[in-house]
Structure 1
Amino acid sequence: MELEVLGRALTTLPADDDHPYRTGPWRPQTVERKADDLDVVGEIPADLDGVYLRNTENPVHPALELYHPFDGDGMVHVVGFRDGKAFYRNRFVRTDGFLAEQEAGRPLWAGLAENPATSPTQTGWGARGRMKDASSTDIVMHNGVALTSFYQCGDLYRLDPTTLDTLGKASWNGAFPSDVGVSAHPKLDEATGELLFFNYGTEAPYMHYGVVDAADALVHYIDVPLPGPRLPHDMVFTENFAILNDMPLFWAPEALAKGKYAAKFHPDIPTRFAVIPRRGETSDIRWFEADPTYVLHWTNAYEDGDEIVVDGYYQENPEPPSGGGTIYQRMFRFLDNEQMGPRLHRWRLDTVTGKCTEEHLSDRISEFGMINQRHAGRRHRYTYAATTLPGWFLFDGILKHDADTGTEERYAFGEGVFGSETAMAPRTGSRSEDDGYLVTIVSDMNRDLSECLIFDAHTVGDGPIARIRLPERVSSGTHSTWAPGAQIPDWRTHDDPATAVGL
């Protein structure tokens, strides 16, 4: 392994920190590294070509009062594969808020679990004006550039997908909706090169939907009126439609009127799907009603005759009880999948009758499902999801679900080993949906190290075919993506111009 330190963040976290989501598997990193020719156990397939990109919440300053793991600064990790070899980089996303706090040497914004009025900084660089836009939730490729995003809506930060240099913010030729921002989970349609997105806020119409074309220009943007402020987190699309949602878990209006943000589930209100032609107008929106639940993540949607099929993770208990336990247990109950009970679920929206039918596809608790992105918006068969450790926001295994047969195959990382959202990487010249590899990063608490694991997508249960040692144990986090080399400009000749950047 050839290792080089690129930079180091100024941190004010206490040396004796005992916060459950800033220690253990969530221990943050402060050093940016560049490592080439990584050590490998097994063999990296020669037809694995591209980069695995993973975003993490990585705090460098303590909270003003109560830290929530989603408050951490964005740090992106990349493991790249070329010609049977691997390289690694990790870099902080140079958001406006991150740079301001580095200069100040202290936190400047209240977090998710804190009163916005306590923020030393009341304006600028905020997610919808009340929180720091950490750009730490999601990551997606579009037009040859990696885009990081924040779940509370904010800017999209542009990163070089191999060096992770921050290239500024998405502007879309000056048309970026900076007054509201963009939510996490914008969606790339690899077939058209379009990026579909939504945003949401506390003022009418409460949601918007837009399309950015393959040349990075905003070509469509409409209102999606809702009954009030909502908390959508994800969206899906088909070849002809975008599907947004109105879920009955949202901020309590009486608390919101007092400037407080407390989520409440309303079991008497149905789940609603907004089906919009991809370049349709507000007047074209059709609403479909389904059983009340909350869905954090969708896997895919596609058209099947007159029906639109939507797959995602139906929560059996979207609002776990808050009584008893420590303040941390009460705060983080929305991170406990064992309590919320998300299961892979299918909704069928009949465009002729306007009716919705639905069913569980799996009885096993799982979340963070990924597919072969070449099938996004088209019929898919396989979903690769994460199983989770009860009581924690930690991934303890990979679950492959076959929608055609209903069969499932699981690989458990082992006690004390925790994974990342697992991306499907089609091999060069792949001929079928699962003809490729699964890529993930694991943090092994037993050996105090991280590895990038590669699985044959056909035989997940057989375990990894290669283990790649990373230079430092990686903090846990949320989302990832796979970008094939063909999507990266100058991929075959990229000489990695990353240089040290002072922090």
Structure 2
Amino acid sequence: MHPEVVAKYLSTLPEDDDHPYRTGPWRPQTTEWNADDLQVIDGEIPADLDGVYLRNTENPLHPAFKVYHPFDGDGMLHIVGFRDGKAFYRNRFIRTDAFQAENDAGGPLWPGIAEPVNLAQRDYGWGARTLMKDASSTDVTVHRGVALSSFYQCGDLYRVDPCTGDMLGKEDWAGDFPKDLGVSAHPKSDDRTGELLFFNYGKQAPYMHYGVVDDTNRLVHYVDVELPGPRLPHDMAFTENYVILNDFPLFWDAGLLKLNAHVPRLHRDLPSRFAILPRRGQPGEIKWFEADPTYVLHFTNAFEDGDEIVLDGFFQGSPEPADDGIDHGMSPRWQRFFRYLSLDGMQTRLHRWRFNLVTGTTREEQLSHSLTEFGMINPEYAGRDYRYTYAATGKPGWFLFDGLVRHDLHTGSEERFAFEDGVYGSETAMAPRAGGTAEEDGYLVTITTDMNADASYCLVFDAARVADGPVCKLALPERVSSGTHCTWASGAELRRWRI
């Protein structure tokens, strides 16, 4: 491996920084790299692993005005590509309008999630809250051969070449992009139809919209989804014929919102609600279903089963976690502030909802006792019946992933792999083996932050034998910040769009 420095950026973070999510495993990077022919530390790169692993995460260059939240950092896209038994790496900051403006100013211009909006140094901003920075640092998906980065409280979609990391500008959809609200994180790309399904939300009625972009990159469907008031949806799901949106009882306190203060509260007397509508349906076709109150950050999949829509995701047993009083190795101030981020704090468990489209009834069940989240599946099974979910376990009290679990939804069994102490993973993508036929015929790919070696590695696992450990371990040019959302794009799919 002969890494090449592509660019270095100036950080204005304090040298004596003690913030737990800007130091240690979350220490941000300032350097962009190209590295071809990655060094294999252990094992062998599978010859039938063909495609790119893309991971987006927060990587701050500048401090907050008062309180930094780990969702505030600038977006950075990490790319690990595989073909013919070799691998390469690229990382790039996502050059949003806000990223450029703050670097020109040499400091923060917009408040973060834990700060009041009146701190904004500009009279404009982005997303559901308004006057907030669009960091485009939450999610990444691939549509029509182009990577799209997105922000959790809505914003622009930024187009990135998934092989080189080159910025390709903002998504426009021939002038029809919803510039007032933008697009939330977790739009869904359906490779079978070529469609991109998305939602957005805000503080003005109807409070949510749903849209469809077709395989020619045209916005062909955009409808209102009326809610009782401002909400905080984070994810959606789809089946062959339907989409599933949500209205959970964790949302901004209405009284404080009148004072322009955005403080989420759990409204325990309200149910969870799910909206099911045809993929090109009109508002009048929406069917609402009620379920036990909770909050769900991420769904794994949905599919149709006779008259029922089956939806799987991570039910939070404690959406408003209390301070557990345990010393998790950070100052009490930060521990109280960040308890909403840990899997044990939120008590996240794999869960299933069944919505009967004929009777209007809901059935639900817990699928696992284990605390896991950030589940991924074989992408070829998105929207249809499936068996396996690959999820992350969490370090108690922290927003850090300390292992992998393969959930077998047919038998209820689980297969685990735990990282060494001081090693933390990312959301793990499932990469179907080129030419594979079975659901688990493929590989799991993730990036680790290894505090023991002060290094980062890309690990590849056999998806059918998670507990056996990685089949290969690849060295990256430097230790990267711990991160979250990812996707996998097959080489065949990428090459199809490049012909």
TM-score norm. by structure 2 comes to 0.97
C-alpha separation in 2, matches of 1:218 and 1:230: 24
After TM superposition, the structure 1 stretch with the greater mean CA deviation from structure 2, 9-18 or 454-463, is 9-18
Provide the identity percentage: 66
Superposition deviation, residue 118 in structure 1: 1.0
Unpaired stretches in structure 1, ≥5 consecutive residues? 494-503
2:406 matched residue in structure 1: 400
2:33 matched residue in structure 1: 33
Superposition deviation, residue 487 in structure 1: 2.0
Q: 1:117 aligns to what SS in structure 2?
A: helix
1:85 matched residue in structure 2: 86
Q: 1:365 aligns to what SS in structure 2?
A: coil
C-alpha separation in 1, matches of 2:126 and 2:482: 25
Does 1:67 pair with 2:32? no
2:485 matched residue in structure 1: 479
Superposition deviation, residue 379 in structure 1: 0.6
Does 1:354 pair with 2:355? no
Q: Superposition RMSD on alpha carbons, in Å?
A: 1.3
C-alpha separation in 1, matches of 2:132 and 2:176: 23
Does 1:446 pair with 2:447? no
The one-letter amino acid of 2:250's match is L
C-alpha separation in 2, matches of 1:337 and 1:256: 28
Q: Deviations over 1:47-79 (max 9, x none)?
A: 000000000100000111110010000000000
Q: Which runs of 4+ in 1 moved over 4 A?
A: 124-128, 322-325, 490-493
The one-letter amino acid of 1:466's match is C
Count of residues paired in the alignment: 493
Q: Quick one: structure 1 residues 492 and 170, their matched pair in 2 at CA, closer, same or farther if it must change by over 3 Å? A: closer
C-alpha separation in 2, matches of 1:492 and 1:352: 44
Contact 1:128 1:181 in 2 (8 A): no
1:329 matched residue in structure 2: 335
Superposition deviation, residue 305 in structure 1: 0.6
The one-letter amino acid of 2:275's match is A
Contact 2:274 2:288 in 1 (8 A): yes
C-alpha separation in 1, matches of 2:19 and 2:497: 41
C-alpha separation in 2, matches of 1:322 and 1:97: 34
The one-letter amino acid of 1:9's match is Y
C-alpha separation in 2, matches of 1:395 and 1:125: 30
C-alpha separation in 1, matches of 2:127 and 2:271: 32
C-alpha separation in 2, matches of 1:492 and 1:388: 38
2:369 matched residue in structure 1: 363
Superposition deviation, residue 492 in structure 1: 9.3
The one-letter amino acid of 2:424's match is F
Q: 1:465 aligns to what SS in structure 2?
A: strand
Does 1:420 pair with 2:426? yes
1:282 matched residue in structure 2: 283
Contact 2:242 2:277 in 1 (8 A): yes
Contact 2:139 2:151 in 1 (8 A): yes
Q: 1:107 aligns to what SS in structure 2?
A: coil
Q: 1:334 aligns to what SS in structure 2?
A: coil
Contact 1:122 1:129 in 2 (8 A): no
Q: 1:132 aligns to what SS in structure 2?
A: coil
TM-score norm. by structure 1 comes to 0.96
Superposition deviation, residue 124 in structure 1: 4.2
C-alpha separation in 1, matches of 2:407 and 2:161: 33
1:381 matched residue in structure 2: 387
Contact 1:399 1:409 in 2 (8 A): yes
C-alpha separation in 2, matches of 1:126 and 1:346: 30
C-alpha separation in 2, matches of 1:283 and 1:492: 40
2:146 matched residue in structure 1: 145
C-alpha separation in 1, matches of 2:339 and 2:252: 16
2:44 matched residue in structure 1: 43
1:300-315 to structure 2, matched below 5 A, reads 300-315=301-316
C-alpha separation in 2, matches of 1:217 and 1:61: 36
Q: Quick one: structure 1 residues 491 and 198, their matched pair in 2 at CA, closer, same or farther if it must change by over 3 Å? A: closer
Contact 1:318 1:340 in 2 (8 A): yes
2:272 matched residue in structure 1: 271
Unpaired stretches in structure 2, ≥5 consecutive residues? 326-330
C-alpha separation in 2, matches of 1:2 and 1:330: 43
1:497 matched residue in structure 2: none
Q: Deviations over 1:317-358 (max 9, x none)?
A: 100126977331222111021121010000000111100000
C-alpha separation in 1, matches of 2:495 and 2:68: 39
